[in-house]
Every structure is written in structure tokens, then in C-alpha cells.
Chain A
């Protein structure tokens, strides 16, 4: 009953299967305001991840009895398309999707001025069209942009990234294979201007020292991601300004 020996995920030169260095993010593309009906939306590609986020609100709450008297009700649905993963996933919400919907909501809520709009709801939808590890983080990064695109006042953007341990090395931005076969996965979300961590999970096995180093790695990754987030948010308007001033 011997366990299968794990394949090598990182080689002797600290290069990962997809050619990345230990502290390198996957290639990222972000676009804001991609959907016509939603009040705010954003699309992100991170490696093979393809994720769409949309926001509706603030608007009247349905059903009415859920309305909160002193603030907006934030609701979040994280969902994976059946074709997003290798083996077709049933469209019914899984326990994992329910947990992620909760932690994602809790990651985004500290950034929204919910007190400004009592008795309304702000609904956030995250649809994973293709998944390859780190979808909750990419989803948060996109959802935060969707909230900003909807014109909802926020304290800060929220940016998220995961780190972990693979083949004994501490790495940034794990793919699905690295997460499944590695030793630890630590997703984290942050309000960058306040260094406020709004999502933190971990599964695997790390010493305290390793954990500290992974956190440091992830915070750096978040910083780079945040710059891309801001650029994506501004880019539409910058483009128009440049055209007009020609």
C-alpha cells in the first residue's frame, strides 16, 4: 500500500513546470465594464483562469424581509461553470462553492461603504468560466473592480493572491496541479492602502517560519496585482482622453 511518488513540480534551478520562477505571478489580463446589463463588471484571466465578476446594486432587497435597517446587504455568489474543470462539474452549488461564496463576501465587505445605503442590497456574482487554481483570489480581484465600476463608494480596492509550498519551495500563485500536489496553499485578500487582510485561509502543512515567509511573498504579489487592477480601472478613461487630445 505504498503511496505514489509525487512528480517533480519544481526543478533543481527553482523553475516551475510552467517555466515560472518561485515568486512569479502568472500572466494576467484584466478588463473592466465588460457586461452591458450589470451595474458594474470585470473580467480577469490569470494563467488559465478565466473569471467574470458582475455587480447589481445598490437596489431594493428581494425578498423584502432580508433588508437591514442601517446598511446595505451584501450578497455574493461564487459559482463554477460545468465546463470550467477537467471533469464536468454539476451545476448545483457544491459545499465548496458555498464556503467560498461566504469567505469572498467577507473579503469584499470591509471595503464597501454599506452604511451609506440602508435597506438596499448589493449582489456580487463571480462566474468561473475556466479554472486552474487560485480562482477565489482572481474572483475577488475582479469582483472588487466590478464594485468600483458600479460606482459603489469603497474604502479601497481589494486584491487577492495565493502562495504556498510546492516540492519544498515557497511559491507564489499556485496552479491547480501545484495546489493539489503541493504541501500548502495560502489564499489571501488585502485592502492594499491599509494593509488590512480581509481573507486568509490555509490548508496543508507549514512551520510558523514558513508561514511568515509565504505571507511576505503573497503580500508582494498583491502589490503587483494591485497596480494592474488600478490600471485596468483607469484605462477606459485614459484611452478616451488620449484620443480627444490628439
Chain B
């Protein structure tokens, strides 16, 4: 029952990964008893599962995901939100206000207007309709400050790290508050713009080198070096 690649090898769409009694995991597909890659990425195996960690993929909504989005339109009954996915998401007015919604008296733009950024959670999504959002939980709602970084959503797990090790390290080294949207958008709020810049640098480094090993150490090293040189600069001034 052959496997045609070793773990962590780079594969392209259409590459034959395995033949036989295997399970087709992420970014692969099955044709008869053969499993092929459907995206460019690093192939890996777990028990009988063959999967590919895609190097680049867009976000596909999933119920329960926390996402960061931009309100693009105030429509009747709610807001239409761009969550960086193939589908626009919907946030219903009833989700935000407890009072019954009256089109003439309720002023939706005063709650969220076009251009506002929000943190929300996906409560419903299936093939027949666009994703539905909620902002009812603590920590969700309008974003008032901070800056956004956008990375390809497949790299989000790398930014988080195993058991949150990578993101905890970045928060510690930069002193920033960081909110991660599963849709590839990250909100950074630091005490100074300089702190925020360090966090952005770290995230971009992770995105570019996500397929390599020893990344956590290299990012830590880079942050410390950057902080050190910045302090030197400020001492000189």
C-alpha cells in the first residue's frame, strides 16, 4: 500500500500522494483508491490520513470561528460584512439589539456603519446560504483601535503555535494585545507604534517561513535583536 512522498515534501495539485486504504485529509481528494493533492503545499501523514498543509488558501467560513471583518453595507435588517472569504457574511440587527427591529426608528448606522471593523463569530454557514455572524459574546464587537495585519489563513495555526506557544511569545516580547481572526486577519494593539511594528514584523516572518522548522526560536531572536537595536538608537539620540 504505497505512499509516494515523505512527510513535509512540497507537492503540487494533481500529484499522486498515496494508493490504497488511506483517508483523504485536507487539501487532498480521492479518485477510486488513489489520493491526490488538490493544493500546493507540504504533504504529511497521520496514521491512515494523508493531508497537505496548503501554502496558500483563502478562508472558508466554519461555524465557531472568530473572524475580523469590515462592514461593507448597512442593509435592511442588518449589516453585510466582508470577512475575506468567497462569501459576504451577514450580521442581523436582532443579534445586536434586544428591542424588536423597527425600520423607521432603529438607526443601524449608529451601531455599525459601512467601513467599521468588527470582531465576530460565525454562528451558521452551509452550502445554500452566506455565513451568519454574531457579536453577542464578550470580546466581540466594534474595533476601536489598533492595526490590522492580513496573512494567508492557512498560516494562522503557525502564528498561534503549538498550544499557543508562538503567539504567547510574541505578546510577551512586544507587550501587544493580539486578537487572531481565523480568516487570516490579525488585530494588534500595542502601547506604542513601535511595539506594534515589531509584532507585525514577527507575523510577516512567520508567514514567509511557515514551512521551515525552528521558527519560534528564529522569531524570538529577531524580535530581541530588533528591540535591542531600537534601544541603541534611542540611546544615541
A binds B: yes
Q: A156 contacts which of B36, B54, B57, B58 (Cβ < 8 Å)? A: B36
Residue of B nearest to A57 (CB): B86
Of B39, B58, B218, most A-chain CB atoms within 10 Å? B58
Interfacial residues of chain A within 201-246, with CB under 8 A of chain B in the complex = 230, 233-234, 237-238, 240-241, 244-245
Binds B, one of A77-85, A116-124, A133-141: A116-124
Knowing A149-B56, A156-B36, A245-B212 touch, does A238 contact B86 (C-beta < 8 A)?
Answer: no
Knowing A148-B13, A193-B14 touch, does A60 contact B212 (C-beta < 8 A)?
Answer: no
On whether the beta carbons of A58 and B58 are closer than 8 Å, the reply is yes
Of B10, B39, B40, most A-chain CB atoms within 10 Å? B40
- For the complex formed, measure the closest distance between the CB of A92 and the CB atoms of chain B, giving whole angstroms: 32
A9 touches B (CB below 8 Å): no
Q: How many residues of B contact A (CB 8 A)?
A: 30
B38 touches A (CB below 8 Å): yes
Contact with B along A43-63 (1 / 0, CB 8 A): 000000000000001111000
- For the complex formed, measure the closest distance between the CB of A31 and the CB atoms of chain B, giving whole angstroms: 15
Q: How far is the CA of A119 from the CA of B87 in the complex (A)?
A: 9
Main secondary structure on B side of the interface with A = loop
Chain A hits for B58, CB < 8 A = 39, 58, 150-151
Contact with A along B77-89 (1 / 0, CB 8 A): 0000000001110
A157 touches B (CB below 8 Å): yes
Contact with A along B27-62 (1 / 0, CB 8 A): 101010000101110000000000000111110000
- For the complex formed, measure the closest distance between the CB of B221 and the CB atoms of chain A, giving whole angstroms: 13
- For the complex formed, measure the closest distance between the CB of A136 and the CB atoms of chain B, giving whole angstroms: 21
Contact with B along A172-213 (1 / 0, CB 8 A): 000000000000000000011110000000000000000000
B107 touches A (CB below 8 Å): no
Chain B hits for A244, CB < 8 A = 209, 212, 218
A153 touches B (CB below 8 Å): yes
- For the complex formed, measure the closest distance between the CB of A201 and the CB atoms of chain B, giving whole angstroms: 23
- For the complex formed, measure the closest distance between the CB of A144 and the CB atoms of chain B, giving whole angstroms: 9
B173 touches A (CB below 8 Å): no
On whether the beta carbons of B211 and A156 are closer than 8 Å, the reply is no
Chain A hits for B128, CB < 8 A = 69, 118
On whether the beta carbons of A155 and B36 are closer than 8 Å, the reply is yes
B152 touches A (CB below 8 Å): yes
Contact with A along B9-26 (1 / 0, CB 8 A): 010111110000000000
B127 touches A (CB below 8 Å): yes
Contact with A along B199-228 (1 / 0, CB 8 A): 000000000110110000010000000000
- For the complex formed, measure the closest distance between the CB of B42 and the CB atoms of chain A, giving whole angstroms: 9
Q: A233 contacts which of B40, B54, B152, B212 (Cβ < 8 Å)? A: B40
On whether the beta carbons of B10 and A237 are closer than 8 Å, the reply is yes
- For the complex formed, measure the closest distance between the CB of A71 and the CB atoms of chain B, giving whole angstroms: 10
Chain A hits for B86, CB < 8 A = 57-60, 117, 120
Q: B208 contacts which of A58, A149, A230, A240 (Cβ < 8 Å)? A: A240
- For the complex formed, measure the closest distance between the CB of A155 and the CB atoms of chain B, giving whole angstroms: 6
Chain B hits for A238, CB < 8 A = 10
Q: B16 contacts which of A59, A193, A241, A245 (Cβ < 8 Å)? A: A193
Q: How far is the CA of A108 from the CA of B88 in the complex (A)?
A: 26
On whether the beta carbons of B10 and A155 are closer than 8 Å, the reply is no
On whether the beta carbons of A156 and B40 are closer than 8 Å, the reply is no
On whether the beta carbons of B40 and A148 are closer than 8 Å, the reply is yes
Of A111, A150, A192, A244, most B-chain CB atoms within 10 Å? A244
On whether the beta carbons of A151 and B36 are closer than 8 Å, the reply is no
Q: How far is the CA of A154 from the CA of B37 in the complex (A)?
A: 8
On whether the beta carbons of B38 and A60 are closer than 8 Å, the reply is no
A-B complex: 7 closest residue pairs judged by Cβ atoms: A156-B14, A58-B86, A151-B57, A153-B38, A154-B13, A151-B56, A193-B14
Beyond A233-B12, A240-B208, 8 additional pairs, beta carbon < 8 A: A58-B86, A150-B58, A155-B14, A155-B29, A156-B13, A157-B14, A192-B14, A241-B212
